[in-house]
Amino acid sequence: MERQMRRDMSIFYDHKIETMSRSDLDALQLTKLKWQVDRCYHRSDFYRERFDAAGVSPADVKTLDDIRKFPFVQKEELREEQRQHPFLGRFTVAPEAEFREVHPSTGTTGTPVNTIWSATDVQYITEVTARTLWSIGVRPGDVLQNAFAYGLWVAGLAVHYAGSKIGCLVIPIGAALTERQIDYMVRLKSTVLVATPSYAIYLAEQLKAHGYSTSDINLRIGCFGGEPGTEVPATRRTIERGLGIDAYDYYGLAEIGPTFASECAHKAGLHWSEDLHLIEVVDPKTKEPVAEGEVGVLVITHLERRATPMIRYWTNDLVRLDRSLCPCGRTHARSPEGILGRADDMIVFMGVNFYPMQVEQVVRSFEELSPEYRIRLTHDTSTHRDICTISVELEQKEISEEQVLALQVRTADVLREALGFRPEVEFVDQGTLERTAFKAKRVMEERPAFAKKL
């Protein structure tokens, strides 16, 4: 009870960990790294084969820099491992008796990568998510409206567990109808909103459309992630004005954890939980570490994950790393400006990850359509909504208007099943889309939030 009271008065969820000196933090990381590499080598055929092929073993880990001797893990390698060894692959390390939850990744071209949470993992994921929420100002007694999807998507449950751990009244509303979101927000006087940035903007618009103003609601802060946006000043301002709150950025991904990095009150960048994750930033071409402050690919190693630990997971996300002391007093490294972009061609839309190949597979499954297509991503400034328009050519000449409309609906339905959202489908005349003997530019990214900031 006394510890909880001290915590309530502090800006830190765990003062000792969050303000640990760099030397102590390095020592803690090294101890955990040795433990993790050893258990992965001896309990996982996937890791043992990879380490042996690279000529490394647990005995090679003498300093933190020695992690560079070990191979990266790419998402496609995990996917292939689970294809070859269904259902979970051979990178599970904890005994099956300890398994508690399974969560797939999103945006794959085939079977998603399934990761496991053990009983201990659930506890540590709850703790680190509580830490991120605490850092933005969530406190006991808050009414937390959790608008992240529940079920298989990792973020919804993690935020729910963490909110309860802190002592909030959690509204597990998930991806419910907007009218219900507004009703609960107004009647239960929600003080915290957790959602994607685009949905937060939409909620603000709908509040106004339903006759409410910011004075009619009790929201004070919001934590937004699942897609780029909050790190963009214009988007953050739109959310803050529309809901009358302070908006904060957070980061997570299925293979590593749902919510393990967030901003603090100073909004000086994403704080990484370095006691639980070893953070590297490497050059995407040379695969060597970049100098502090330079842009590179974020690579993460689990230091405490029990069931499905990742050793040097290649996220493809571009960041800068700053190890200087934050004005808030936290000593862990942070990434100013958050996530700067992607090193690959993955598209993020409305919190869902997808690839052009998925669109290609759908388009080319229709005999009535030409195999050519274009993906255009725009942002409607009047509605503050992102729009994904997929243009395809009609192969058939003799087709009625009714048949065209029916085909358009059917195409959109199949795309929704493949992508996880329903795009706009535009039919154009055959020959409209340019052909080339070289690599075709099929994606037109025109959203300001996704513009390169390098």
Residue 68 has pLDDT above 60, yes or no: yes
Q: What is the pTM of this model?
A: 0.77
The position carrying tokens 């508690």 is 100
Across the range 83-96, mean pLDDT stands at: 95
Query: Rounded distance, CA 160 to CA 129, Å?
Result: 9
The answer to whether residues 212 and 300 belong to one domain is: yes
The answer to whether residues 290 and 358 belong to one domain is: no
DSSP states along 128-188: HHHHHHHHTT--TT-EEEE-S--TTSHHHHHHHHHHHHHT-EEE---S--HHHHHHHHHHT
The answer to whether residues 43 and 166 belong to one domain is: yes
pLDDT the model gives residue 228:
65
pLDDT the model gives residue 187:
97
Residue 40 has pLDDT above 50, yes or no: yes
pLDDT the model gives residue 436:
45
pLDDT tens sequence across 228-286: 668 777 678 878 989 999 999 999 999 999 999 999 999 999 999 999 999 999 998 89
Q: Is 404 exposed, middle or buried (0-12, 13-18, 19+ CB in 10 A)?
A: middle
Residue 30 has pLDDT above 70, yes or no: yes
The answer to whether residues 307 and 384 belong to one domain is: no
The answer to whether residues 278 and 398 belong to one domain is: no
The four Cα atoms 314, 318, 319, 320 give a dihedral, to 10 degrees, of 110
The answer to whether residues 109 and 253 belong to one domain is: yes
pLDDT the model gives residue 435:
60
Whether 170 and 160 have beta carbons less than 8 Å apart is answered as: yes
Across the range 109-124, mean pLDDT stands at: 88
In the structure encoding, which two tokens stand for residue 334, read together? 């942070």
Kindly give, in sequence order, each residue whose CB lies less than 8 Å from that of residue 201, ignoring residues fewer than 6 positions away: 235, 238, 239, 242, 384, 385
Helix, strand, coil percentages (3-state) for the chain, rounded to 5, are 35, 25, 40
In the structure encoding, which two tokens stand for residue 84, read together? 């070859």
- Show the CA angle centred on residue 264, arms to residues 260 and 268, nearest 5°: 105
The answer to whether residues 247 and 216 belong to one domain is: yes
CATH of the domain at 166: 3.40.50.12780
Residue at 448: amino acid letter = P
In the structure encoding, which two tokens stand for residue 102, read together? 């399974």
The answer to whether residues 311 and 358 belong to one domain is: no
Among 344, 364, 388, the domain boundary falls at: 344
pLDDT the model gives residue 353:
81
For 313-354, strand residue ranges (E) read 313-319, 334-335, 341-342, 347-349, 352-354
Domain of 256 in residue numbering reads as: 1-344
Stretch among 61-65, 204-208, 220-224 having the lowest mean pLDDT: 204-208
The answer to whether residues 186 and 315 belong to one domain is: yes
Q: Is 409 exposed, middle or buried (0-12, 13-18, 19+ CB in 10 A)?
A: exposed
pLDDT the model gives residue 229:
65
pLDDT tens sequence across 420-440: 999 999 999 887 887 643 345
Whether 354 and 107 have beta carbons less than 8 Å apart is answered as: yes
CB neighbours of residue 262 within 10 Å: 27
Residue at 277: amino acid letter = H
Among 315, 344, 373, the domain boundary falls at: 344
The answer to whether residues 301 and 376 belong to one domain is: no
CATH of the domain at 406: 3.30.300.30
Residue at 34: amino acid letter = K
Query: Rounded distance, CA 161 to CA 124, Å?
Result: 11
pLDDT tens sequence across 307-321: 999 999 999 998 999
**266-290: buried (b, 16+ CB within 10 Å) or exposed (e) per residue?**
ebbbbbbbbbbbbbbbbeeeeeebb
pLDDT tens sequence across 126-159: 999 999 999 999 999 999 999 998 888 889 999 9
pLDDT the model gives residue 4:
55
Residue at 24: amino acid letter = D
Among 295, 326, 344, the domain boundary falls at: 344
The four Cα atoms 378, 382, 383, 386 give a dihedral, to 10 degrees, of 10
Residue 360 has pLDDT above 90, yes or no: no
The answer to whether residues 320 and 433 belong to one domain is: no
Percent of the chain with pLDDT over 70: 93
- Show the CA angle centred on residue 231, arms to residues 226 and 237, nearest 5°: 110
The answer for 105, left when phi > 0, alpha when psi is -120 to 50, beta otherwise, is: beta
pLDDT tens sequence across 153-202: 889 999 999 999 999 999 999 977 889 999 999 999 999 999 988 788 88
Average pLDDT across the chain, whole number: 91
DSSP letter for 226, please.
S
- Number of domains present in the structure of the chain: 2
The answer to whether residues 179 and 149 belong to one domain is: yes
If you count them, how many residues does the chain have? 454
Stretch among 66-70, 336-340, 436-440 having the lowest mean pLDDT: 436-440
- State the pairing for strand pair 114-118/99-104: antiparallel
